[in-house]
Structure formats: structure tokens, C-alpha cells
Structure 1
Amino acid sequence: MGLALGTAVLAGCGGTATSPAPAPSAASSPASSEATTDATSPATGASPSTTPPRRAVPRLDHVVVVVMENHTASAVLGNPDAPFINGLARTGATLTQSYAVAHPSQPNYLALFSGSTQGVASDRCPLTFSGPNLATSLRAAGRTFAGYSEDLPSAGFTGCQAGDYARKHNPWVDFPAVPPAANQPMTRFPTDPARLPTVAFVVPNLAHDMHDGTVAEGDAWLARHLGGYAQWAPTHNSALVVTWDEDDDDHDNRVATLVVGAHVRAGPYAGRVDHYRVLGMLSDVAGARPVGQAAGAAPLTGIWDG
């Protein structure tokens, strides 16, 4: 896999979803994959949340979030076809009452990224939104973001489908305030984890995220692409989060969510968690203000040591 490139993110202005509209044109891939992920100075007009300070959680250097598809927690936790996932569960925090917020896929990805389903109740494409999101909040805090999607044809690609890539699983492309350079193919995921942005989302393709493929295929993909990072993170002030967008539509939308890495207290966590609370956790450990419904969610403090 190639090294990551720069992931400077522009700060967004508050707003509401607009009607479906063509997304901005794709940007060409940068000439070199050796560039660092340094943030630029906050953009004029940034409008971070004015939410009061939240309870202290560890400040992490890197968090990688992987979103899998369409399986209830009981389908993967304890499943012998998922040895890597269950290894993570043994060494990290298992959020035993974790729930998605909607059906189908797309509104759940929007919730994880922007703190809102944006009124979306389908997988229609393309969509464009003007509101705040995780990337703009990180940008306002001087931190960085990138999303890495398997089978994305090129950096900044805005098409709805390409092979097993689906834009409905890539919410950052729906926000023009997030620059094309933050929208990267999985081939640009850095071989050196220290070059990752502060927060990175990883989205496998439809064959590997358990949407079309099996639990065993998805588990093997995770082990191959994130196994090294999972070993690296605990000793480098970093963390890996693995979650699912939604369940199989038959288990109250309960999904598996695992957190592994530095400062994480291993074992089950029984507090109720949804995608908004997970987004709030990502903002907190990155030192950014949570956006949307994440701003009103209780900080996820029980999974951390000390």
C-alpha cells in the first residue's frame, strides 16, 4: 500500500441539507504519496460548536475507524469465522449495547460523520450537504482527517459507483467543505501508521465489508489491512475502532463496536452507545468539538484507563 498524502481540511459553515445535486468535480491524485498529513491553519469563517467543555478523555495522536456492513453483534462476536475481530474483542473494549440509528446504510454513515442523518432515509445518490461535520471540526481544531475507500478509482472521485465501491458508504464526499484530497483510495493508506491523519475512516468495498461477502472474508480483509495498525496503536498513543453501519434489520439495530489501543480498558462496556456517541468519542480523543447530535451525547469515558 502507498503512503498517505496531505489531508488539509477546510472548515465548514453551519447549514442544512440541500436537495440532491451533482457533487463537485473530482480532483486528480497528487503527484507524490510521500506528502505528510500536516494540517494547515484554521480557515476564516470556521464555525465550531460552542458546546461547553466535556469530561476529560485521553488525547490520542491517531484513530482509525473501520465501518463494516449489515451484521448484528451476535453474528460476529463469538463467531469462529471471525478470529481477528474476536481477538480485538479480547484485547480491547467491547461496547455491548451499541446501536445503529437508521436503515438503510447511507443515513448511518452520515450520522457517524456529521452527527445527523441529514433527513436521508435511502441510499440515493448523489447528495450534497452544507452543514458541519467531523472533518471541518477537526480542521477548526488544527487536526486532520482522511477517508480511505477500497476501490475508489482516484483521489476526490465523486461518482456513485465504481466496481465494488459505493458512494453511499463514503459520506465525506457529500460535503463540499471537505476537500477532494481528504477522499482517498485505500491504496493510499500509509504503510507507516505515524503518517496517518488524526482521524481516518476506512471503508472496505462491498465484497469485503460483509455486505456481499461472508463474515470470514470480511474478517480476513480486516486482519490483512488493519492487523499491523492494531498491533502498533497501543504503544503509539493511538486507537482502532471497528463498528458496523446497521444490523440485519432483525435485531433492534444492535451492532458490534470495538475499541482497541492506547489507554483502552479491555472488557465489556454495558452503557448504551449509538453512532452519535461514537462520533462524540472521536471528537473528544482528537481534541475537536463534536457536531450535530454528537454534541449532546454523553462522553464515552468508561472505556478508558485512569
Structure 2
Amino acid sequence: MGPQTFAVLCALISLIFAAQAPQFAPPGPGPASPSSNYVGVNNCTLPNTPKIVGKVFDRFTQIWLENTDFEVANTTPTFQNLATQGILLSSYYAVTHPSEPNYVASLGGDFFGMGDDNLYNIPANISTAIDLLEAKDISWASYQENLPTDGSVLFSFTQPNYLDTSAPPYTYYVRKHNPHAIFNSVVNVESRRSKIRNFNDFAADLNASAIPQWNFVTPNLVNDGHDTDIDFAAAWLEYWLVPMLANSNFNDNRTLIVLTFDENENQRVNNRVFTLLLGGAIPQNLRGTVDDTYYSHYSLLSTVQANWGLGSLGRQDTNKTMSNVFSFVADVIGYQNQVVTGSAIPITSASGKNSGPLNSKLYVPFASPNLNAVGAGGGPVFVSPTLNTSVTPDTLPPPVNLAALGQQVPSAGYANGTGPNGSVPPPVTVVDSC
């Protein structure tokens, strides 16, 4: 085959794949309107609670996209245009591969050795950012596009394909991108579980001026770029985020919005991801600038802790190397970040290499957090009263290869209808957000 024939063949293959790839279509009339493409129908809104004033911002919203290298996002026009309105974090890193452990880490301060996207139920005595927020009466919600019902703990949800009505049903929602559903400390408490909401709920909360102070936003599997590409995700941002930046119910002068990716695509290089700080809380003189400080997903926790003077989880959120506070916040409150550059930047591209209670090949039990740790907020380490604090990292036994013994970790979920040792999953009730 000659070079010209090969080039023509490659072009034809590209055209075939392009024709098969889904094309972006708005999932609804707009982010402020309900959509029949979201199965859950909103019946009420979250309550308007007193605002807890922060040192730099009063609302914090994180939006997660999927599996993209920094350079790819940084050369895409939509992301370039958004960068002119905020601060580009050029040295922000995901903490591992694949997706699920990154989401878990952002809420729990650790990924507990997890190296896959399997179904887990992290025990109720393991704390999360929700414990820290509620200790200061800071309102919160998780908004998951295409979540079937409020508080759902389903592993995934398949529904009619709104992109192509002639195609088979499509799985738009997956639990692995919804960290709140993975922690029993959230889903076992009805008042918390009801705050895991879908985008029809978001529209209702938005129009009622009831968007909470801390928010976690996950688009569906096509809109976040997981099953599509960066251009598809960019089209969704033009549809959803761009108008929200101009909506004062979502973004006012005390709002910080973090747009990030769970991990990069090329696992042969370190895990740098495109991350952008947006919102009215960004000072005018910093818009369109670049911050080269080293950050990771744990900085999402430490920045919130610093802003509201919260306690910590005593895990990687208190690891000074991994949890620098966003500089524009640190500068205002006088927090001293660590200088982490060059070879000092941790390598976080490995998967499944860390021992932990969610690693079947390197299993160790859950350990107590560092009770003496001091996080960016200065408050105490939050510990569940039912956690055995005598089990520390220093007293853990050697890792055990449970997989080699035909066993799974005790926190494994019920993907096949049963749990560890044949146990039956607990009953699931549909939570009414009212």
C-alpha cells in the first residue's frame, strides 16, 4: 500500500468514526429549565438557610469533567475563552487513576488505595467534607445530571437516548462520578442523602435562589467528555456554564467556581489536568492570569477549610505538599503555601499501587486519621465517634492480597446482588427531597 492510499484510507476511517460519534444536543431548554430528558422530576427546592460568610468567598462550586490532558483542554477555544475570565492553574494535578478514586479523594481526603471503578460502600465512620461543612452550618448539595431519583445509590442508570432517539437506551449516569453516594456517612443519613440531586432539582433551586454554599456538579457521561471528546464537553459548557456565569442566583461577587478534570488521558505522563478558577470572587486584576503554584484535588478541600475556618479530615487534606490553598485565597488570609516545583512534584499517574482498605491486592483496614494534624482551616480533625482511633497507619498489619485468596474488600458493593460473604444489600428507599 502506497503512502497516498494509506492517507486516503485513514481519512475514510476518520470520517466513519466521526459519523458514528454522538453530536452534542442540548439536554433541555437551558440550565434554568427542567427537562424531560432527566428522569427525576423536582417537587420542591432546598431551603434557604442563613449564609455563613467566608473570608474570601461565600459560595464554592466545583464542576468535574473527564479524562483529558492539560494541553488538549488548554488549546480548545471554549476553555481558552473561559480562561480570560478567571485564573488558570497550570500546575494542578489529579491524585491517581482511574476516575472513581479521584472523586472519592476530593470528598474524603484520601482514595484509600482504590485503583479501579468498582462499586464500594465506604463505612459510615469514615468522615468527609460534609461533616466539616455541617459542623459550621454551611449548606451543600451534589448535583448529578441524569441521576434517576434524589439520593439514588444505583451503580448506573440507563434511559432513552436523547441524542439519538433511534438508538438503543444509553447509560448517562454512573455512581463512580458521584462521590457522595459512595460514602455511607452521607447515604445512611436521610437529610444528607436528599441533597444528592439531579439537574431538574438544580433548575428549581436556581430559580428559587436556593443554590447552597458548597456544590458538587457532575455532567452526564457524554457532556463531561467521558464517552465523547473535549469539543463535546466544550459545547456543553457553552450551553450550561456560560449562561450560569451571568446568572446572579448562581454566580455573584462572592462565588468561587472551580472547573476541573478528574484525571488526564495519557497515563504515561504525570497527572496534570486543566483547572480554572472562575466566578465573581476572582479579583478583576487576576482575571486572565496564570497561577503556577502546585495544587492537587486535595486543594479543593484545603481551600474550603481555609475560607470558612473549618476543621480537617486529618488525611491528605493536611498533607502540606499535596494540599496548597489556592493562592488568591491564601494571599488574603495569610496562609503560607509550600513551594513544590520540578522533581519535587509528586508522581500521581500510578493506579492501584497504594495499599489501602479499597485495594483487594494490597488490602489493609481503614486507619484512623492523623488526630494531631492541623489543616488550612485551623480547626480540629473531625473523627466519627464510632471509629477505632487505635488503628493508625503505624499499627496496620502488612498488606494482604485478598484477590489471590478469592476474596473482595469488606467495603465492596453489591454489583452482583450480594456483598461480602454473600450478604444481602440493605433496602434502598427513594428519598423525597421535601
| TM interval, short-chain normalised | 0.7 to 0.9
Supply the distance in 1 between the matched residues of 2:308 and 2:242 (Cα, whole angstroms): 22
CA distance in 2, matches of 1:141, 1:3: 32
User: Are 1:246 and 2:291 counterparts?
Assistant: no
Describe the SS at the equivalent of 2:90.
Answer: strand
- How far apart, in 2, do the equivalents of 1:251 and 1:151 lie? 32
Tell me the amino acid that sits aligned with residue 167 of structure 1: R
What is the Cα deviation at residue 94 of structure 1?
0.8
Of 235, 238, 243, 1:228 maps to 243
Unaligned runs of 5+ in 2: 1-30, 35-39, 158-170, 187-191, 333-434
Residues of 2 paired with 1:150 and 1:36: CA distance? 21
Measured after TM superposition, the shift of residue 88 of structure 1 is 2.0
For residue 303 of structure 1, give the secondary structure of its aligned residue in structure 2. helix
CA deviation map 1:272-300 (0-9, x unaligned) = 11111222113333443332311333542
Residues 98-137 of structure 1: CA distance to partner in whole angstroms, max 9, x if unpaired?
1111111111001111110022111111423331111111
Match of 2:141 in 1: 146
**Residues paired across the two proteins, number:** 263
Detail structure 1 runs of 4+ shifted over 4 Å in the superposition: 1-4
Query: In 1, are the aligned partners of 2:94 and 2:273 still within 8 Å (CA)?
Result: yes
SS in 2 for 1:201: strand
Question: For 2:122, which of 125, 128, 143 is the aligned residue?
Answer: 128
Q: CA shift at 1:270, angstroms?
A: 0.6
Which secondary structure does the structure 1 equivalent of 2:231 belong to? Answer: helix
- Give CA-to-partner distance per residue, 1:133-168, whole Å, 9 cap, x none: 111110111102111111110101111010211101
Asked if 1:79 corresponds to 2:95, the answer is no
Distance 1:34 1:182 in 2: 10
* Cα displacement (A) at 1:210: 0.9
Q: Aligned ranges for residues 37-56 of structure 1 at < 5 Å?
A: 37-38=48-49
Looking at structure 1, the residues matched to 294 and 46 of structure 2 have their Cα atoms a distance apart, in angstroms, of: 40
1:34 is matched with which residue: 45, 65, 84? 45
Identity of aligned residues (%): 26
Render the CA deviation track for 1:25-60: whole Å, top value 9, x for unaligned: xxxx79732342438xxxxxxxxxxxxxxxxx8342
TM-score (ref. length: structure 1): 0.78
Q: Is residue 102–residue 246 contact of structure 1 (8 Å, CA) maintained in 2?
A: yes
Q: Distance in 2 between matches of 1:222 and 1:283?
A: 28
Backbone CA RMSD of aligned residues: 2.6
Higher strand proportion? 1
The one of 309, 318, 322 equivalent to 1:295 is 318
Q: Is there any run of 5+ residues in structure 1 with no aligned partner, and where?
A: 5-28, 40-56
The change in CA–CA distance for 1:234 and 1:182 in structure 2 (over 3 A counts) is closer
Q: Cα–Cα, structure 1 residues 154 and 244, in superposed 2: closer, same or farther, change >3 Å?
A: same
TM-score norm. by structure 2 comes to 0.56
The answer to whether the 8 A contact 2:32-2:207 is kept is no
Alpha carbons of 1:35 and 1:172: their partners in 2 closer, same or farther (altered >3 Å)? closer
Distance 2:310 2:243 in 1: 27
Change (3 A) 1:207 1:280: same
Residues 166-218 of structure 1: CA distance to partner in whole angstroms, max 9, x if unpaired?
Answer: 10111111122222112111221133484211111110111111111121111
CA distance in 1, matches of 2:127, 2:73: 33
1:70 aligns with 2:67: yes
Write out per-residue CA displacement over residues 216-235 of structure 1, whole angstroms, 9 at most, x where no aligned residue.
11112122222233234664
